[in-house]
Amino acid sequence: MMKSVSMLLAFLLVPAFAFAQNRVQPELMEVPEIRSSWDDLTEGIATKEDWIARREVLKQRYLDLLGDQHKPEKPPLDLIVHEDVVVDGLYRRQWISYAVEADERAHAYLGTPLELDGKAPAIVALHGTYQHGSKRAAGLIDNPDKAYLDHLCRRGYVVIAPEHFVSGERTPAAGPYDTAAFYEKHPQWTAVGKFTYEHSIAIDVLQSLPQVDAQRIGALGHSLGGHGTFFLAAYDDRIQASACNCGASFFRHNPNVEGWGRNRWYIYFKPIREGLLKGELPPIDFHEIIALIAPRAFLDVSGLNDGHTPTQKQRLLMLMKIMDVYELNGVPENLGFYVHGRKHSVAHESRQLIYGWMDAHLKPAEATQTHLVVPAAEE
């Protein structure tokens, strides 16, 4: 009897983790496989080499969608500084212009921290559909939640906030964001091709600056600037980290898809309108465009209640499929997404996540490292 009691006590006193280490947790149920219409992204893809070959096809489809073959010849930058001020003794903010076509100049705010230890990372910050262009991104008017240039310069980034080509200084005679005059000048190009090309020239501006590390350039934006961000990152491999905040919905599963080829005001892709009216979607969709960014870092931040909720739910399925491409490239840590219920906003937690994403991917590792507490006596 005593021997039995001793064995029972010994059994009870064995640490729980010892059993946990030798036990296999039984699977009580099967996990259903998630399948969706976004699976066509990796259909027939088994290796990284397969993806590289598919990527070449998708990249050409993307350039065709933009009408990239119809862009004008790139002129010399001819950078001019029109205004130069110092903000709070922390950074210099300049109002600049530079050539984007032989007869056309873009305007932007350029922010540079005053205290830099060597070359700095840089960011292209894209504003949303806003009449006064990048003035809001510079923190001069309207909602300070969207003052990306001010926020990021204070974090040590060189920032360029280009003005969208139909806003601010370049507002058309027909009104802000009216693209009629653009299509008269470039009937075979697209508005998305135009602004993506111009944002790529903004990268040229950054790389021309001696204070910028040309290998550490990112992009971010909200709304129009949000999808403008992944359009740019998919177009220009110089973008190493990007973040889209509340960017517009894709082509498929979108009851408002005609908006991408509307026939008035701001016309994103004029050439696709005829097909959309027949129920025909373009030969490339957003999951394939965003996947072109891989293996470079991309973060998507969206509101589940920002627009048509069933469509926004599809966004999550789309992003999970894009993760398969990042897994295939061996860098799952370079894709992230955050979904909230704050509608079409750049709320505090969204900004902190986006800025932290940039820090993690564009700054040296020590900038985001954590440390144990060391008592003063041991230092």
Q: What distance separates the 2 farthest-apart alpha carbons in the chain?
A: 101
Name the β-bridge partners of 84. 94
Determine the pLDDT at residue 32: 92
**C-beta of residue 244 within 8 angstroms of C-beta of residue 226:** yes
Above pLDDT 70, what percent of the chain?
93
Is the pLDDT at 116 greater than 80? The verdict is yes
Q: How far is the C-alpha of 268 from the C-alpha of 32, rounded, in Å?
A: 39
Q: How far is the C-alpha of 297 from the C-alpha of 244, rounded, in Å?
A: 11
Determine the pLDDT at residue 19: 42
Determine the pLDDT at residue 21: 56
**DSSP-derived secondary structure letter, 35:** -
Determine the pLDDT at residue 379: 60
pLDDT band at 27 (very low <50, low <70, confident <90, very high): confident
Determine the pLDDT at residue 26: 80
pLDDT band at 13 (very low <50, low <70, confident <90, very high): very low
Q: What is the mean pLDDT of residues 19-39?
A: 81
| Residue 1 resides in a domain | no
Is the pLDDT at 2 greater than 50? The verdict is no
Determine the pLDDT at residue 376: 76
CATH number of the domain encompassing residue 92 = 3.40.50.1820
> How many other C-beta atoms can be found within 10 angstroms of the C-beta atom of residue 26?
5
| Residue 174 resides in a domain | yes
| Residue 191 resides in a domain | yes
Q: What is the mean pLDDT of residues 328-336?
A: 98
CA atoms within 13 A on the CB side of 131: 6
Is the pLDDT at 374 greater than 90? The verdict is no
| Residue 36 resides in a domain | no
Of 226, 250, 217, 219, the residue nearest 346 (C-alpha): 226
Domain ranges, residue 248:
42-363
| Residue 16 resides in a domain | no
CA atoms within 13 A on the CB side of 279: 0
> Into how many domains does the chain fold?
1
Is the pLDDT at 7 greater than 70? The verdict is no
| Residue 19 resides in a domain | no
What separation in angstroms does the CA of 311 have from each of 12, 112, 355?
Answer: 54, 39, 27
Q: How far is the C-alpha of 250 from the C-alpha of 213, rounded, in Å?
A: 33
299-308 pLDDT per residue, tens: 999 999 999 9
| Residue 9 resides in a domain | no
CA atoms within 13 A on the CB side of 223: 13
Determine the pLDDT at residue 196: 98
Is the pLDDT at 10 greater than 70? The verdict is no
Q: Does 164 or 27 have the greater pLDDT score?
A: 164
Determine the pLDDT at residue 28: 85
Determine the pLDDT at residue 24: 75
235-281 pLDDT per residue, tens: 999 999 999 999 999 999 999 999 999 999 999 999 999 999 999 99
> What element of type H or E holds 113?
strand 104-113
| Residue 369 resides in a domain | no
Q: Does 330 or 375 have the greater pLDDT score?
A: 330
| DSSP character string of 141-187 | SS-GGG-HHHHHHTTT-EEEEEPPTTSGGG--TT-TT--HHHHHH-T
Mean pLDDT for the chain overall: 93
